[in-house]
Amino acid sequence: MQLHKTNVAGPSTRASIVTAEAPPATTVNGGTPQPAAAPQATGSKFVWSKAWYPAVAEEHLDPTKPHQVTLMGRQLVLWRDSKGEWHAQNDACPHRLAALSDGFIDADNDQIVCSYQ
């Protein structure tokens, strides 16, 4: 799952928004990064999983702990590594299926750890 942080400014507000589920960026004209093409319809159906969706405003996230979010019916955990990059993954430990959002961030190894570990 890819995440992207966007700075948004309005008449009286300024915020950073973390968005998830984006198509990969493409490069054109000498390697300048460009956003990927808009989501394409398959036949007459729009492909919802191929678009960006706001997950949460960054100001609402504590970078020192994991956060549970629901995006399009999927339980996800958002967490930030020691380099300042946000990550999103399924909110379930692969070993015990416990919520990873109940765990903690191991800053020494840049990983999220289940509360049972």
pLDDT of residue 38: 55
Q: Is 27's pLDDT higher than 50?
A: no
* Cβ-contact 59, 8 below 8 angstroms: no
- Quick one: average pLDDT of 30-56? 66
- Quick one: average pLDDT of 94-105? 93
pTM above 0.95, yes or no: no
What DSSP state is assigned to residue 39?
P
- All structural domains of the chain: 59-113 (2.102.10.10)
- pLDDT tens digit string along 105-117? 999 999 999 988 7
pLDDT of residue 14: 52
